[in-house]
Amino acid sequence: MVSGKNMGEKPRSASMEAIMGIIKNTFGETSKLVFETLLKIGREVQDEDLAMHAGLHVSEVRRILYKLSEHGFVTSRRVRDRETGYYIYFWRANTEYLPQILISRKKTVLNKLMERLKYEETYIFQCSSCSSEKERFSFDDAMINDFKCPRCGAQLEPVNNAVTVKSLRELVERLRRSVEADEKRLYNRGS
Ligand SMILES: [Zn+2]
């Protein structure tokens, strides 16, 4: 097992916490453990060593490493063993690529929020009578129908979504700024 002394280990950043969260939610707790152990070791390592450190079976670790590498979280270097002729793989966390993973995740969430916001801002009327149907109408739809429900003829009413719209706008704005800051940090690095 890895020794308890981690004197040289840097405190984990907020973005690394986010990466851990993504790995856990996407691939499960064991994958998170494998990735965490790889980070802790902090250098290239063979799957057998990693399995030993993580206290897991090597076949499981191998399966997880391939899955993680498909998604860019880890990377490997292949070396041919001169004696056996077999390839040996050395694994490490793909730390250079991790910020990009985070940015692309944030952008996905941002797009979903923006779609939701657009919906909330566009479909602003609903029927006062059959509103349980949850059908909503844009201003133009409502106007064409003389502000009456096309199904039952009752009056169409404005949707009471001001709070939702406000909080969605704030979320979108916060996330957009966060993505901008991340990209600035990533692409201005070393220049
Ligand atoms: Zn109706």
Q: Do 106 and 90 share a structural domain?
A: no
User: What's the residue count for the chain?
Assistant: 191
Q: How many Å apart are CA 29 and CA 48, to the nearest integer?
A: 19
Residue ranges of alpha helices (H) inside 28-97 are 29-41, 47-54, 58-70
Q: Which residues pair with 92 in a beta bridge?
A: 75
Q: Do 157 and 143 share a structural domain?
A: yes
CB contact at 8 A, 113 and 173: no
Of 62, 95, 128, the domain-final residue: 95
Question: What's the CA-to-centroid distance between 114 and ligand 1, angstroms?
Answer: 28
**Number of domains within the chain:** 2
Question: What's the CA-to-centroid distance between 128 and ligand 1, angstroms?
Answer: 7
Question: What's the CA-to-centroid distance between 113 and ligand 1, angstroms?
Answer: 28
Question: What's the CA-to-centroid distance between 141 and ligand 1, angstroms?
Answer: 14
Mean predicted confidence (pLDDT) in 32-59: 96
Angle at 12 between CA 11 and CA 16, to 5 degrees: 165
Is it the case that residue 16 has pLDDT exceeding 60?
yes
pLDDT in tens, 144-184: 999 999 989 999 999 999 999 999 999 999 999 999 998 99
Q: Do 75 and 151 share a structural domain?
A: no
Q: Which domain holds residue 38?
A: 14-95
Is it the case that residue 185 has pLDDT exceeding 90?
no
Of 56, 76, 95, the domain-final residue: 95
Question: What's the CA-to-centroid distance between 121 and ligand 1, angstroms?
Answer: 21
Q: Do 173 and 123 share a structural domain?
A: yes
Q: Do 83 and 48 share a structural domain?
A: yes
Q: Is 44 inside a domain boundary?
A: yes
Smallest CA-to-CA distance from 9 within 43, 48, 59, 50 is with 43
CB contact at 8 A, 151 and 178: no
Q: Is 132 inside a domain boundary?
A: yes
Q: Do 163 and 135 share a structural domain?
A: yes
Of 67, 95, 123, the domain-final residue: 95
Q: Do 182 and 104 share a structural domain?
A: yes
CATH number at residue 91: 1.10.10.10
Record the tokens describing residue 170, joined without a space.
Answer: 């704030």
Percent of the chain with pLDDT over 70: 91
Question: What's the CA-to-centroid distance between 148 and ligand 1, angstroms?
Answer: 8
Q: Do 142 and 124 share a structural domain?
A: yes
Q: Is 6 inside a domain boundary?
A: no
pLDDT in tens, 70-87: 999 999 999 999 999 999
The residue written with tokens 């939610």 in the block is 25
Please report which confidence band the pLDDT of residue 128 belongs to, taking 50, 70 and 90 as the band edges: confident
Question: What's the CA-to-centroid distance between 122 and ligand 1, angstroms?
Answer: 19
Is it the case that residue 3 has pLDDT exceeding 60?
no
Question: What's the CA-to-centroid distance between 138 and ligand 1, angstroms?
Answer: 15
